[in-house]
Amino acid sequence: MGQQLPKRIKTVWRLQAGLNLLIDIGIVVGIIVCHYIFSWPTWLIWVASLLAMMAAIIQFTLIPYRYQFWRYQLSEHDVEITTGFFVRKTTAVPILRIQDVTLSAGPLLQFNHLQSVKIHTAAAVHEIGGVDHATATQLKNQIMNLAKEEDVYDS
């Protein structure tokens, strides 16, 4: 079944949704200003307001579902990352293909004492977003050790 992200990630997602709402409100205010300065149509204000409100409601409503279906699992041969609630997506990153593992944390993750684990391959970067600092460090070390072992066996 895999490991679930810590519950604090829901706070990060709520903050992200709140910031998106503030940006949407800024856009609506800009449209209102343009309405008065450049005589833009009134219906544009209503459409932008409705879209902003719907986007916020959807983002806030889907947080529990997003949390329920976001999982990761580390095995000897791959790292599996499962995401999605409407469209389930499981990505298996073979240990043999992993070139680097990095840890990063933006302001919202840092505020909640979480880190993002980024798994780099030649083709893409796969992310386990929002695990505890200790778990992130442990995952990085485990993945890199497994990658080194696989590299030794292939040589």
User: What 3 state SS string does 34-76 have?
Assistant: HHHHHCCCHHHHHHHHHHHHHHHHHHHHHHHHHHHHCEEEECC
How far apart CA 80 and CA 125 sit, in angstroms, is: 13
Packing angle, helices 42-69 and 8-38, rounded to 10: 170
Give the confidence band of 147 by pLDDT, cuts at 50, 70, 90.
confident
**Which pLDDT score is estimated for 148?**
85
**Which pLDDT score is estimated for 2?**
87
Name the region of 130 (left: φ>0; alpha: ψ -120 to 50; beta: rest).
Answer: left
Does residue 113 sit in helix, strand or coil?
coil
**Which pLDDT score is estimated for 36?**
95
Of the two residues 149 and 141, the one the predictor is more confident about is: 141
Q: Where are the alpha helices (DSSP H) in the chain?
A: 8-38, 42-69, 107-111, 133-154
Give the confidence band of 86 by pLDDT, cuts at 50, 70, 90.
confident
φ/ψ of residue 97, rounded to 5: -90, -10
Element (H, E) at 87: none
**Which pLDDT score is estimated for 153?**
60
**8 A C-beta contact, residue 99 and residue 120:** yes
Task: List, in order, residues 6 or more apart from 134 with CB less than 8 Å away.
Answer: none
Task: Summarize pLDDT for 9-55 with one digit per residue, the tens.
Answer: 999 999 999 999 999 999 999 999 999 999 999 999 999 999 999 99
How far apart CA 25 and CA 20 sit, in angstroms, is: 9
Q: Is the pLDDT confidence value at 140 over 70?
A: yes
**Which pLDDT score is estimated for 101?**
96
Its pTM stands at 0.89
